[in-house]
Structure 1
Amino acid sequence: MAKIGIYGSSFDPVTNVHLWTASTVAHRCKLDKVIFLPCSNKRKEKTMKTSDEHRWNMLQLAIAKNDKFLADDYEMKRDAWEVYTVFTMQHFKKLYPDDDVYFIMGADLLVDIADGKWKHDEELISQNKFIVMARDEIDMVKTISRSPLLRNHDDGSRFHLIDKGLAMEISSSYIRDEFSKGGEPRYLLPDACYDYIQEHGLYREK
């Protein structure tokens, strides 16, 4: 039985922090695979700065040399009404029926679930396992404790909390801002992605 982590983000663009985080989570949680899942551009709360094609191409370049890393365009292909994490996890659990499948997320998303901001939250939490990464001094244990939904499904294996050494400040938005203002973010993302962005003139001010 393999252990597989589902790592969703906009990856607009994919950064070295994304790769370092995925590698660290795989190492600490003994994952056999990490599946990078670019989110749909149809989500109302997300505004992509470049096309699905460019995001997908850069992600493929970024993970090409790591055998543990895969990319999947499942959410990219969904209609907006289908793009909920509970449906995504159902898909991957059917795809890997003999394996343990975990949803990888930041502690900020755990807070959102505790605050009732996620659709189908009862179904999502009751049916899945989660790897939760520290964010901005959020107390993950207190977040679980204050939520009836989270604490009543915390059976000791539901939430794998990683609370040391995963807080880094460089984001995709920071890199986009650097490109748009003529900055030099070369070493914040994979060389192949940097070259791709330069070649296609991405993230430049119009």
Structure 2
Amino acid sequence: MARIGIYGSSFDPVTNVHLWTASTIAHRCNLDKVIFLPSSSKRTDKTMNISDHHRWNMVKLAIRDNDKFIADDYELQQEAWKITTYETLKYFKELFPNDEIYFVMGADLLVDIAAGKWGNGSALVKENKFIVMARDGIDMLQTISRSAILRNNDDGTTFHLLDKGLSMEISSTYIREEFAMDGEPRYLLPDSCYFYIKEYSLYADEHER
């Protein structure tokens, strides 16, 4: 039985922090694989700054040298109505029926589930397992204990709470702003992605899609 982490994000663009986070999770949680799952531009809760095509290409470039990392375009291929975390995890559990699947997320998303902002929230928590990364200012244990959805669907193994032990909060937003303002964010993202962005003049215009 393999242990697989599903790491969903906009990756707009993918950064060195994304890679470091995935590597840290794989090491500390004994994961055999981490699946990078770019969010689709069809999602109503997110606004992408460049096309799915470019973000997908950069994810593949960023992870190509790590055998534990896999890129999957499942959400990019789905109709908008089917793009929910519940549906996505159902798909991966059916794809890997003999393996243990974990959804990787930040503590801020744990707060959103607790607030009832996610569809099928109760079933999502009851039927799945999560690796939750600490975020500044969020008490993860307190968030779980104060939420009926979280605490009543937690069997003791539902949430693996993980503090990275190092604050690395360089964001995709910061990198996009640097490109837009003719800055130099080269060492904040993989070289392959940096040169890809330069080649296609991505993020040069904040209104570019």
Q: Is the 8 A contact 1:133 1:166 kept in 2?
A: no
Q: How does 1:9-88 map to 2 (within 5 A)?
A: 9-88=9-88
Pair 151,166 (structure 1): closer, same or farther in 2 beyond 3 Å = farther
- Aligned residues: CA RMSD: 0.9
Secondary structure class of the residue paired with 2:192: helix
Pair 164,194 (structure 1): closer, same or farther in 2 beyond 3 Å = closer
2:154 maps to 154
Provide structure 1 residue ranges, at least 5 long, that are not aligned to the other structure: none
1:122 maps to 122
Q: In structure 1, what is the Cα distance between the partners aligned to 2:178 and 2:29?
A: 33
Give CA deviations for 1:8-29 in whole Å, capped at 9, x if unaligned.
Answer: 0000100000000000000000
> Is the counterpart of residue 92 in structure 1 residue 104 in structure 2?
no
Runs of 4+ with >6 A deviation: none
Q: CA deviation at 1:164?
A: 4.0
Q: Is the 8 A contact 2:126 2:154 kept in 1?
A: no
Secondary structure class of the residue paired with 2:154: coil
Q: CA deviation at 1:80?
A: 1.0
Q: In structure 1, what is the Cα distance between the partners aligned to 2:169 and 2:95?
A: 34
Secondary structure class of the residue paired with 1:66: coil
Secondary structure class of the residue paired with 1:76: helix
1:200 maps to 200
- Structure 2 counterpart of 1:6, which letter? I
Pair 164,11 (structure 1): closer, same or farther in 2 beyond 3 Å = closer
Q: Is the 8 A contact 1:134 1:166 kept in 2?
A: no
2:142 maps to 142
Q: Is the 8 A contact 1:21 1:166 kept in 2?
A: no
Q: CA deviation at 1:176?
A: 0.3
- Structure 2 counterpart of 1:12, which letter? D
- Structure 2 counterpart of 1:174, which letter? Y
- Structure 1 counterpart of 2:122, which letter? E
Q: Is the 8 A contact 2:37 2:71 kept in 1?
A: yes
Secondary structure class of the residue paired with 2:98: coil
TM-score (structure 1 length as normaliser): 0.98
- Structure 2 counterpart of 1:118, which letter? W
Q: CA deviation at 1:166?
A: 5.1
Q: Is the 8 A contact 2:42 2:79 kept in 1?
A: yes
Q: CA deviation at 1:154?
A: 1.9
Secondary structure class of the residue paired with 1:49: coil
TM-score (structure 2 length as normaliser): 0.96
Secondary structure class of the residue paired with 2:75: coil
- Count of aligned pairs: 206
Q: CA deviation at 1:163?
A: 2.1
